[in-house]
Structure 1
């Protein structure tokens, strides 16, 4: 591209019937001025374009940075969400396992208490049976002893050669009847059919 100075310094050869030099110089001056204005405007426009391209490049870098930041933020948010879900699932799992352990412990304790209760019931039942047998044995022994004592006492009070009827109302000395053991009552809670 011609510069204004090149246009201004352009020399033309003159012929016999050529153009008038003053008109050519005047025209060249006008062209040079117009071209100079266009040249300056072109330089200014190039600077503006360069500045615009620089800004555009900066904006593109900024856009790329923002996009990368957005992608990173989305990825981070997704990772946080997944981590929170995993943490929540882990806590729920741990809570369920803890609850299951508590239930299992409670079931084991219940079974142990039931076994202990059944053992105590069996011991109580066995004790009642043994105590009832002992009491019955003692009562029988006491009855036998009372009958023996009554017979001895009766023999001592009967005159020689006289035997009273056995079903008569025999009175011991002092007005007491001989102990037969028939009026002895066993407490109801010691009967054979009691399981309590």
Structure 2
């Protein structure tokens, strides 16, 4: 049973002989009533404070829940972005590796072609050198024959040879005629060789080789 301060103050007691002093009892009741009222007021203040604290706790709980949801959402977003970045990076790496492989294959192919072109050029060079050597040898041989003049075609006759008899002269003329025919035949052959050798063997493809080098 709850008692209010007013009920305590208004509480009445029956009088009896040799009982308590009424003034003392009334004074004590007033004191108790005041104390109870004070305690009730204090309790009300504490209850109000508790309610305010509860409100703040509930507010912080809502804030905590919102922060937790935000943190969870952020974690999921970061995880998704990280996975996306990893996937994109891997795709770029794979693409770069494929491009590098293609470039490497193309470089190897071009290197092989260059090696083949160089080999062909070296072979052409050897052919040109061989042709020029042959040309020089033939030219040197023709020049040597031309210098020798074994038949004396390109020398003046001596004075004592003018008085040779007609038979000897006739024989020489006949032989000279024969040698002259042979010489003309040889000259025509040499001219033909000179015409043929005017362009050393292998040099007819020189323009093509220079085009390949360019």
Q: TM-score, normalised by structure 2?
A: 0.54
Unmatched tracts of structure 1, length 5 or more: 129-161
Equivalences, count: 152
Query: 1:170, 1:178 within 8 Å by CA — same for their partners in 2?
Result: no
Task: Give 2:9's aligned residue.
Answer: 8
Q: Please give the alpha-carbon distance, in whole angstroms, between the structure 2 residues aligned to 1:189 and 1:182.
A: 15
Deviation per CA, 1:129-159: give whole Å up to 9, x if none.
xxxxxxxxxxxxxxxxxxxxxxxxxxxxxxx
Q: Please give the alpha-carbon distance, in whole angstroms, between the structure 2 residues aligned to 1:166 and 1:15.
A: 203
CA offset at residue 54 of structure 1?
1.3
Q: Please give the alpha-carbon distance, in whole angstroms, between the structure 2 residues aligned to 1:25 and 1:11.
A: 9
Give the alignment partner of residue 170 of structure 1, picking from 178, 181, 194: 178
Q: Please give the alpha-carbon distance, in whole angstroms, between the structure 2 residues aligned to 1:167 and 1:9.
A: 186
Task: Give 1:157's aligned residue.
Answer: none
RMSD of aligned residue pairs (Cα, Å): 3.9
More helix by share: 2
Q: Please give the alpha-carbon distance, in whole angstroms, between the structure 1 residues aligned to 2:28 and 2:22.
A: 10
Task: Give 1:44's aligned residue.
Answer: 45
CA offset at residue 109 of structure 1?
5.6
Distance 1:56 1:166, change over 3 A: farther
Query: 1:4, 1:32 within 8 Å by CA — same for their partners in 2?
Result: yes
Q: Please give the alpha-carbon distance, in whole angstroms, between the structure 1 residues aligned to 2:71 and 2:200.
A: 87
Q: Work out which structure has the larger RCO, using CA pairs closer than 8 Å and 6 or more positions apart in sequence.
A: 2
